[in-house]
Amino acid sequence: MNTPFPFISAMMFYVTKDVVGVPVKHHERAEGKSGYSVAKMVALFKNLLINQSSILLGIIGNIGLTASVMSIVGACYVIYRKLFLDVAIAGWASLLVAVLLFGGLALFSLGIIGEYLIRIIGAAERRPIFLVREDLQ
């Protein structure tokens, strides 16, 4: 697999789902101390979250879609109040609906663009389409 940030544990799950835990007796470090600081662990977590998953893109896309739907429902409510109840509408309601609509559509669009990017990156990594587990010949 051709990836800029290889992480063996994450790549292992691409090859197989048959992974089990094995109890291991751990010993104290004989010399020195770990080279992983909190900043390095946060950077590793960031790389794993961004490079090995599309969860963030899905969350952003869902938030954008939800905000867009909520703003459309709010716009319908504001229009209904104006037309049928003859209630004077303060300008903030329509402004809020417009901001939610455009912000939600922007986030939803970013989610769609991100999904395309994930697919392009997946193709660039040249992962095999299938894996042969055992040759029976």
pLDDT per position as a tens digit, 114-136: 778 777 877 777 776 777 777 88
pLDDT on residue 47: 80
- At 44, is the secondary structure helix, strand, or coil? helix
Burial 68-88 (b: 16+ CB within 10 A, else e): beebeebbeebeeeeeeeeee
User: Residue 59 to residues 38, 55, 72, 105, 120: CA-CA distances in angstroms?
Assistant: 26, 6, 20, 14, 19
Per-residue model confidence (pLDDT) at position 32: 86
Res. 52: pLDDT tops 70: no
Residue 72's alpha-carbon distances to 61, 68, 130, in angstroms, are 17, 6, 43
The string of pLDDT tens digits covering residues 3-44 is 777 777 777 777 777 888 899 998 888 888 888 899 998 988
**Mean pLDDT rounded to a whole number for the chain:** 79
- Which residues 6+ apart lie within 8 Å of 106 measured at CB? 64
CA distance 114 to 62: 12
Task: Average the pLDDT over 44-73 and give the result.
Answer: 78
